[in-house]
Structure formats: structure tokens, C-alpha cells
Chains A and B, each alone.
Chain A
Amino acid sequence: MELSRDDIAKVALLSRLQLNDEELDAMQSDLQNMVNFVEQLGEVDTDGVEPMAHAVELHNIFREDKIAPSLPREEALANAPDEDGEFYRVPAVLGD
């Protein structure tokens, strides 16, 4: 499948990756190569094959409903790039 520049720009927005024109060009060629490379999977007959999402055949793994201590707020916010001592701070969330 041929990837257009528009396709790349769309995937970049979905990925939240800012790319300038030059980077977009480079990404278009890299991604095209990668897509071509993985497209050989199309040769494999997978009719009736169950997809395999996990490498272990486990099910029904639960934890009990018990309260464990939370982090002190200072520690929770310690890594935040911008906070006011109570909340994480981000540029205004629009449209809400």
C-alpha cells in the first residue's frame, strides 16, 4: 500500500508527534519501507487461525478488593512538569 504525505500527517497527529516538512518526507519514506517489509505477511494463509494476543494461556487473574496506601500528594506530583501543589496543570482543555 502506498502511503501519501497526508496519510503520514494523519498518523503523526494520531500519534501526537509534531513533524516538520523535512521530517515528514523522511518519515514517509521510512514508513513506506517498513510497511512494504511487513506486507509480506499477506502471503501467509491464516484462514481459520485464531489470533494470538498473549504469550500465556492465563485467565481469571484477580486481586482482592483491598485498599492500599496511595502516594502522598507531594510524591504523586513530584515528577509533573507543571503543577500547583494540588493539581497537574496543562494548557486549557478546549471544547469541553
Chain B
Amino acid sequence: MNATVTDAAYTTIIGLEVHTQLLTKSKLFCGCANRFGEEPNTLTCPVCIGMPGVMPVMNREAFRLAVRTGLALQGKIASFCKWDRKNYYYPDLPKGYQISQFDLPFCEGGHLEVEVEEGQAPSKVRLHRIHLEEDAGKSMHDESMGGRDSLVDLNRTGVPLLEIVTEPDIRSPEEAKAFLTELKLLLVYLGVSDCNMQEGSLRVDANVNLHLPGESGETIATPIVEIKNMNSFRAVERALHHEVVRQWEEWQATGKKKGEVPKQTRGWNDEAGETFAQREKEESSDYRYFPEPDLVPVTMTAEQIATAEAEVGELPQALRTRLQSEYELSAYDADVLVNQGKALVRYYLEVADACGDAKLVSNWLQQDIMRTLKERNITIEELPVSAPMLTELLKKVQSNELPRARARDVFAQMVETEASLEETMDAMGIKQVDAGALRELCQSLVDANPRIVEDVKGGKQQAVGALIGQAKKKDPNVNPGEVRKICLELIQAMGEDS
């Protein structure tokens, strides 16, 4: 669809505004539960309904999570920050103002490194600022009265929300998607947000325009457009692709530059695959910010910031590096594991450390375990086979007590029955075959199959496979490798005898 656009014709300039709800128990300014999916208007109180006379009091945990996010994104935590009122009328904003941060946010600057294409050097997306604010409620259209009404639910009102604003550093829709993917991973690792776009705990707006070379070497910027209503990372990518082409065409048709038309807001229609102009709200630009008189400023000393920094923990990028250097995993394997989230990595590290075979464990996680999680739609914490249980199982594989294929059966059975390794092996009739008995079994097979013995002697080593098959029929618990080894030994010994 962008066949008419050559890469050299312009540079795409993208900045993102990401809103993410914080994982606190209660709301930002009141004790109502911060929970999604409850019956409408059941999680409200006088404070979050904005009733006359109420006052907000800041949730300590919300501020703590905010600071942790700022530090993880390498931002500068302010020694002094304050809250302001952003005034506008909307039915889901019951006070008529949103408590937010205007000129003194808790965090400025920062960046996130993003790998756009595998094997390429990561790009650095700088952050402009991060601030903490309260979420608004939800208005939805009521179709029951011929569409003349909207209905308002205030359950979400007052949920703590971070606004993360990037610099216009992103140069392609793919990079925007990669940034969001990595940001989401980081936020989930930090435990500050669950970043569920379907539930609205992560929301993205994008600002996009084009830079073109002018005739005398200057840079021409096309008008900035803000895109809203994108409800997946894929939608962000598609919307940006569409918008870039649309802006290019508009530029060619009108020649309008930035500043010559008011900033436009466009919505994204996912089904139609296109952006559409949104009606402007009256005076949307005059929010009359002023200091919130009901909340006092927050100060942080260098020591407090350092303490908070120590609590941040290992971040995805550092983990990827460590898995490659300390566990000798490939970049690809490290990436797959880290992208599965902190709990899975913790599981991996525990088993890998206990087994000492990082690659074997990585394979198990990427195959049997990740498949099981996906099939059952469960998390690693919900997997019936705990890290110590998997360790026990893999140790049997390492010591050749269990053939690999058999071990996979055992694993599947353990997932099914939630039983221990020992119980499962008992139930499956898997017993450790005694070395003497195995030798006896092999001897009887060699004795009973002179033709095969001859074939082997004649150089057809693979003929021994038939003996393994017979051995497994007699005792399913035999280790095929062992059978093969013993039979070959016996046949060779016969040759020496004769």
C-alpha cells in the first residue's frame, strides 16, 4: 500500500504517550479497591465520586511504584514534586478536574533500549517525563434510548495512573511496537502494572508527523497528528503505517506544514484499518492547571532515591545479558525466556542452577513447558510441576535413568495428575531396571536371535534395533541406549569367543 512512498522521501517522527494503571490494592486517593471487572459503580465512595467536602490523600504505594518505574527507565527522580488540578468537564470526571502533575512531575528524562530487528543494534528511545495522576471513569453509549444517552461508571475513577511520555525519537511503526513490547515487559517485571490492554490497564496514544527535506536543505515538518483508540500493539503499528501514508498524501495534496493547521486528533478504526478525524472538544487546550491545594508536595532525599533504586531488581535487558554470559544461552534463547516474564525466568534459573545443564533446561522450558502453559492457559506459578519437581525429573534424564521420550511422558502425566515424580513413575510402572536383570534379558535375546547376531557381526550395526524393540516389549522400562550398548558388547564378546 505504500508503494508510492520511497524511504528516502521523508523521515517518520513518532512520539508515544503511554498510560499505565498501577497495581495497588486501593485507589490513588481513597480506600476503594483498584480492581477491574466489578459491577458498575460498586467500587466508589464519596472521595472518588467527588462529593462535596471530600479530600484526597495520596496512596504511598502508588508513589513508590511510580518512583520504581522512573528509576527502571533511567529517569531523574525529582527531589521536589507537586500535584496540580487539570480542569475540564466530562461526565466520567466527577470533580470537574483531574489531579495530575503539571510543571513539576516526579520523574524527568530516562530512556529505554529497544531491539527493532533481531541482530541489529538496539535503538535508544528517550523519555520526556513520567507523571502520576488519577484515572477517569468510563462513559459508554447507551443504545437503549435510541442512542440519546451515555452511561457513566466510576469504578475506574481515581485508579493510579502513570503517564509515560517519550521524546519524538521513534522512527517507524515497527520501532513503536518494539518500544511498547519492551516497555510492557519492563513494567510487568517491575510488578508495577499488569499492562492488560483489553482491560485498559495500558493505553497508548501516538503523535506522528513527517520530516521532509526542503529545497534549500532545511527540514519541513508536516502537522502533528495525535492518534487515539488503539487497543493493541498491533493496532498501534497498523494505525501508524496508515497515518504515515495518509500524511504523505495529504502533504502532497495540500503542502500544509506544522503550525499552519491546528493539531489534529484522529481515532483508529481497526476494522476499516484507517484513522478518522475526531471532533474536537471545546477549549480542550485550556485546562487551567494550578497547584492542588488539598495535596502537599512530595520531597525525596538522595538517600531515599538510592534506597528506592536498590529495590528495583534485575531488569529484562540485564537478564538477557546474564543468561547469555553466565548460562551460555544463545541471544535467541535468552530473549525467548526473558520475554516470558519474570516468574518463568525465576523458574528457569532455579532448575538450571540445580541441574547444571542450562541448555537442556532451556529446551525443556521452550518446548514442553511453554506448550503446556499455552494449552492450559495457565501461568508458570500455576503449573503443577514445580521447579524442584522438574529438577528431579531432569536429573533422571541426565543420569540416563530415564530416556528422554519417557521423561516427556512422565512430565505430561505429572501435569495431568499433579502427583510427585515418584508417584507418577510408580503409577506408570516405571521401575529402575536392575543392571544384572538387564544383562540377563539382553543375553536371552542374543541367544534367541542368531540371525540378528550374524547381521551385526557382518557389520550391520543397525540390526541391533530389532533386539531393542523386543526388549521394550518384555519390559517397557528398559533404557534403549543401555540395551543397545549391552547387546553390542555381548555380540562382540561372542565373536572373540568363536
Is there a direct interface between A and B, measured as CB atoms under 8 Å apart in the complex? yes
B293 touching A53, Cβ below 8 Å? yes
B42 within 8 A of A: yes
B150 within 8 A of A: yes
B244 within 8 A of A: no
A62 touching B60, Cβ below 8 Å? yes
B149 touching A92, Cβ below 8 Å? yes
Closest 8 CB pairs of A and B: A68-B31, A95-B279, A65-B61, A87-B151, A62-B60, A53-B291, A88-B152, A93-B150
**In the bound complex, CA of A60 to CA of B43 (Å):** 26
**In the bound complex, CA of A64 to CA of B288 (Å):** 30
- With A13-B283, A95-B281 as known contacts, state yes or no: A71 contacts B141, CB within 8 Å: no
Distance from B167 Cβ to chain A, minimum over Cβ atoms (Å): 28
Interface string of A75-96 (1 = CB under 8 A from B): 0110100001011111111111
**In the bound complex, CA of A73 to CA of B154 (Å):** 11
Distance from B166 Cβ to chain A, minimum over Cβ atoms (Å): 25
A94 touching B152, Cβ below 8 Å? no
B142 touching A65, Cβ below 8 Å? no
**Sampled A-B contacts (16; CB under 8 Å):** A59-B298, A61-B296, A65-B61, A66-B25, A66-B31, A68-B32, A73-B40, A76-B42, A86-B151, A86-B153, A87-B41, A88-B41, A90-B151, A93-B90, A93-B150, A96-B278
Identify which of B44-52, B113-121, B424-432, B445-453 touches chain A.
B44-52
B293 touching A54, Cβ below 8 Å? yes
Given contacts A92-B141, A92-B148, A93-B90, 6 further A-B contacts (CB under 8 A): A14-B286, A69-B31, A87-B152, A88-B151, A92-B147, A93-B139
B221 within 8 A of A: no
Distance from B298 Cβ to chain A, minimum over Cβ atoms (Å): 5
A67 touching B26, Cβ below 8 Å? yes
**In the bound complex, CA of A29 to CA of B197 (Å):** 51
Distance from B78 Cβ to chain A, minimum over Cβ atoms (Å): 12
A70 within 8 A of B: yes
B39 within 8 A of A: yes
Distance from B106 Cβ to chain A, minimum over Cβ atoms (Å): 12
- With A62-B57, A63-B59, A68-B31 as known contacts, state yes or no: A95 contacts B46, CB within 8 Å: no
B296 touching A54, Cβ below 8 Å? yes
Interface string of B81-119 (1 = CB under 8 A from A): 000000001110000000000000000000000000000
**In the bound complex, CA of A77 to CA of B147 (Å):** 22
- With A13-B282, A71-B44 as known contacts, state yes or no: A65 contacts B24, CB within 8 Å: yes
Q: Which of B33, B91, B278, B281 contacts A67 (CB 8 A)?
A: B33
B170 within 8 A of A: no
Chain B residues with CB below 8 A from A13, complex form? 282-283
B49 touching A76, Cβ below 8 Å? yes
B314 within 8 A of A: no
B213 within 8 A of A: no
B60 touching A90, Cβ below 8 Å? no
Which residues of B284-303 are within 8 A (CB) of A?
286, 288, 290-291, 293, 295-299
Residue of A whose beta carbon sits closest to that of B282? A13
Which of B25, B31, B153, B286 has the most A CB atoms < 10 Å from its CB? B31
Chain A residues with CB below 8 A from B142, complex form? 87, 89, 92
A1 within 8 A of B: no
Chain B residues with CB below 8 A from A64, complex form? 60-61
Number of residues in A with C-beta < 8 Å to the partner? 38
B280 within 8 A of A: yes
**In the bound complex, CA of A4 to CA of B448 (Å):** 113
A59 touching B280, Cβ below 8 Å? no
Q: What number of residue pairs across chains A and B have CB atoms under 8 A from each other?
A: 132
Number of residues in B with C-beta < 8 Å to the partner? 54
Q: Which of A65, A73, A84, A89 contacts B39 (CB 8 A)?
A: A73
A59 touching B299, Cβ below 8 Å? yes
**In the bound complex, CA of A17 to CA of B42 (Å):** 31
Residue of B whose beta carbon sits closest to that of A52? B291
Distance from B62 Cβ to chain A, minimum over Cβ atoms (Å): 7
A77 touching B149, Cβ below 8 Å? no
A90 touching B296, Cβ below 8 Å? no
**In the bound complex, CA of A71 to CA of B63 (Å):** 25
Residue of B whose beta carbon sits closest to that of A55? B293
Distance from A51 Cβ to chain B, minimum over Cβ atoms (Å): 8
B139 touching A65, Cβ below 8 Å? no
A76 touching B62, Cβ below 8 Å? no
**In the bound complex, CA of A87 to CA of B143 (Å):** 14
Distance from A28 Cβ to chain B, minimum over Cβ atoms (Å): 19
Interface string of A34-54 (1 = CB under 8 A from B): 000000000000000000011
Residue of A whose beta carbon sits closest to that of B141? A92
**In the bound complex, CA of A66 to CA of B32 (Å):** 9
Distance from B98 Cβ to chain A, minimum over Cβ atoms (Å): 16
**In the bound complex, CA of A60 to CA of B59 (Å):** 11
